Amino acid sequence: MSRTGPRPGAGPDAGVYRSMATAKKVAQRQGFKTNEFIVYPAHGVGQIVDIEEQEIAGIKLELFVINFEKDKMTLRVPIAKIKTVGMRKLSEPDLVEKAYEIVRGRARIKRTMWSRRAQEYETKINSGDLISIAEVVRDLYRSDTQPEQSYSERQLYEAALDRMAREIAAVAKITETEVIRKIEQNLEKSPKRNQKSADETDEAQEEAA
């Protein structure tokens, strides 16, 4: 038999209790919680400041409210879309160490048109993957003794360095300035870059094939 009378707690204060219950209910979703720092591939590190419920065209949506403080930007991302956009948790410390190893390695620069390489670098940066971003930092780094970068190379290098530094700073709970200093120290340990390395020669042959 269905109940037709007023439900328990449906008095004047029922709305207050429902609001409190809702606030508790949406404090965490899909393993993410409010105040947590996350990585949103297209924009880098942000912080979940709230989890909202909205009704659009009669459909209820739950949204992560993500603040990107450095960019002075706030995004509202439907919880159902987080896998599609690739939102993820911050990297574990062992992956951070792997990223430092990457920047200490030898640059792998394909001898292809810059426009094509630039597109590949942008794809890596916007992938949100810390290792891929570290590869861009490694490949575009120029020491004081090397030829100066072009404007577009410098822009991509700084974008990758910024993304890498922001995430590591959030993981290690230190400033971005400290992280950049450490990244640059690791970059200086990388092998000296010849004008044409064996790797580059091999890749050029592959491209020509």
Query: What's the pLDDT score for residue 29?
Result: 74
In this prediction, residues 92-121 reach a mean pLDDT of 94
Higher-scoring residue by pLDDT: 110, 35: 35
The CA-atom distances, in angstroms, between 32 and each of 12, 49, 65, 67, 183 are: 34, 11, 12, 14, 29
Q: How far apart are alpha carbons 130 and 23 in whole angstroms? A: 33
In this prediction, residues 180-195 reach a mean pLDDT of 83
In this prediction, residues 70-90 reach a mean pLDDT of 93
Query: What's the pLDDT score for residue 54?
Result: 87
Does the structure show a pLDDT above 90 at 200? no
In this prediction, residues 23-36 reach a mean pLDDT of 75
Higher-scoring residue by pLDDT: 111, 177: 177
User: H helices within the chain, ranges in order?
Assistant: 14-25, 82-85, 93-104, 114-127, 130-140, 151-172, 176-187, 198-208
Query: What's the pLDDT score for residue 192?
Result: 66
In this prediction, residues 169-184 reach a mean pLDDT of 97
Range with the poorest average pLDDT among 18-22, 55-59, 75-79, 100-104: 18-22
Does the structure show a pLDDT above 90 at 26? no
How much of the chain exceeds pLDDT 70, in percent?
A: 78
Query: What's the pLDDT score for residue 38?
Result: 97
Q: How far apart are alpha carbons 34 and 8 in whole angstroms? A: 31
Question: Would you tell me the crossing angle of helices 176-187 and 130-140 to the nearest 10 degrees?
Answer: 60
Q: Which domains, and CATH codes, for the chain?
A: 14-89 (2.40.10.170), 93-208 (1.20.58.1290)
